[in-house]
Amino acid sequence: MSNTEQVERWADIARAVFPAGAQVTYPAAGESVWLRVRWKVGTDPKRPNKPAKGVNIYFTREFCKAYESQEATRQSAWDEKVKDLLTSRYAAFDPDHNAPHGAPMPAESWFVTPTMVKN
């Protein structure tokens, strides 16, 4: 599996975890990978288009190298663990914020490391 296919696989996992319509973008893959997730929070009647607090998901270089060295069935198992990890983090995540209109949106950084998915 190419590096691009891996990144697209993880972006698809993120799309399954975050609200419908969430934008998942990423730069060209290097030694590490990161996803940028943004969506509308939908909780402020005065600002119906207010964006949620962002999430940046970083797959560390160590994770990417370890993932690449796995056979396809192990990669699929790791993908499931990544999905479980993101689902758990999202369940505890409060996307609301008080940043004024026009100010930079706050964002959280989440990291995915090999120790988080190994058996």
7-28 pLDDT, tens digit per residue, is: 899 999 999 999 999 999 988 7
**Percent above pLDDT 90 for the chain:** 67
Handedness of CA 94, 80, 115, 62 (dihedral sign): negative
50: Cα within 13 Å, side-chain hemisphere: 19
61-116 pLDDT, tens digit per residue, is: 999 999 999 999 999 999 999 999 999 999 999 999 888 888 888 999 999 999 99
Is the separation of the CB atoms in 97 and 105 below 8 Å?
yes
